[in-house]
Structure 1
Amino acid sequence: MIKRLALATAALGLLAAPAVQADDHKEMTKGEAKLAKMLEGRVAGEPESCITTIGSRSMQRIDDTALVYKSGKTIWVNYTKTPESIDDGDYLVIRKFSGSQLCRTDQVTTRDRASNMFSGVIFLDDFIPYRLPEEG
């Protein structure tokens, strides 16, 4: 009898589990959905504290989500410590301390495109490379 009760309780727990998961699952924001589409089919690599930036290639801003830098076949994503400060209506002012590299220790501020007024600070985190899986 006790064994049956334990099995029945376990079975009820399994039936209830999907309902709990569904409640915890929140929908992606517009920015998260845009980033997910960009990274579709790619695999994350080891995070790096600095990336080499070339010429005038610019950092793409994805509102309230991340900064993205494309280099060759690699998409570098910096989720930042302050994603809420990322707004497409602003432009980035980056003060680099490592020459041609962009590092998590560099200073990034934002300015409003329309008024040119200071609008915030973005604290960088590690850069995560996303690459297409190697075929083989």
Structure 2
Amino acid sequence: MRKIAIAIATGAALLAAPTLQAKPKLSPQQQLDKLLAGRVAGKPVHCISNFEAREMQVLDKTAIVYGRGNTIWVNIPRNVTELDDDEIQVIRSNGSQLCDLDIVRTIDRGSHFPSGFISLGEFVPYRKVAKAAD
């Protein structure tokens, strides 16, 4: 009987371990704050190159973050409440830049029907702060 009780206790402890290690999911604003930690905002611009816009992260109802590395670009759309991280964004840009006047259409991921559009704002560069030498 004692062996059964030990086996049950061990099994319960093993099942509970992943639950204890699970981290709470960050809100979109907390995700943005984490991305911007250690960075300084630069002067907003109307356009960024398509190269800088290759990598994109949509933060639900908060912002679109482009790029990675030393400089990331944050765009807060004019209709930010329509921004949904679960929708597919289709960007039609003219030329080699993504600009605040370009139209970003959204498509529902499940039905593949058009669901709306995003009106981009200005792109704010955030650069990593150089650490002071000791």
CA–CA distance in 1 between the matches of 2:131 and 2:27? 31
Give per-residue Cα distances to partners, 1:16-38, cap 9 Å, x unaligned.
Answer: xxxxxxxxxxxxx9211110011
Q: Look up the equivalent residue of 1:68 and give its one-letter code.
A: V
Runs of 4+ with deviation above 6 angstroms: none
- Is the counterpart of residue 113 in structure 1 residue 103 in structure 2? no
* DSSP-derived class of the 2:67 partner: strand
Match of 1:19 in 2: none
CA–CA distance in 2 between the matches of 1:114 and 1:58? 23
- Is the counterpart of residue 103 in structure 1 residue 99 in structure 2? yes
Deviation at 1:83, TM superposition (A): 1.1
* DSSP-derived class of the 2:32 partner: helix
Match of 2:45 in 1: 48
CA–CA distance in 2 between the matches of 1:55 and 1:42? 17
Contact 2:63 2:80 in 1 (8 A): yes
Identity across matched positions, percent: 46
Deviation at 1:58, TM superposition (A): 3.4
CA RMSD of aligned residues (A): 1.9
Deviation at 1:65, TM superposition (A): 0.3
- Is the counterpart of residue 31 in structure 1 residue 28 in structure 2? yes
* DSSP-derived class of the 1:76 partner: strand
Match of 1:64 in 2: 61
Provide TM-score, normalisation by structure 2.
0.73
Alignment partner of 2:74 out of 59, 63, 77: 77
Between 86-95 and 52-61, the greater mean CA deviation after superposition: 52-61
Give the 5 Å matches for 1:80-95: 80-95=77-92
CA–CA distance in 1 between the matches of 2:129 and 2:55? 25
Contact 2:43 2:125 in 1 (8 A): yes
CA–CA distance in 2 between the matches of 1:54 and 1:100? 8
Deviation at 1:122, TM superposition (A): 0.5
Deviation at 1:56, TM superposition (A): 8.3
List runs of 5+ in structure 2 lacking aligned partners: 1-25
Provide TM-score, normalisation by structure 1.
0.72
List runs of 5+ in structure 1 lacking aligned partners: 1-28
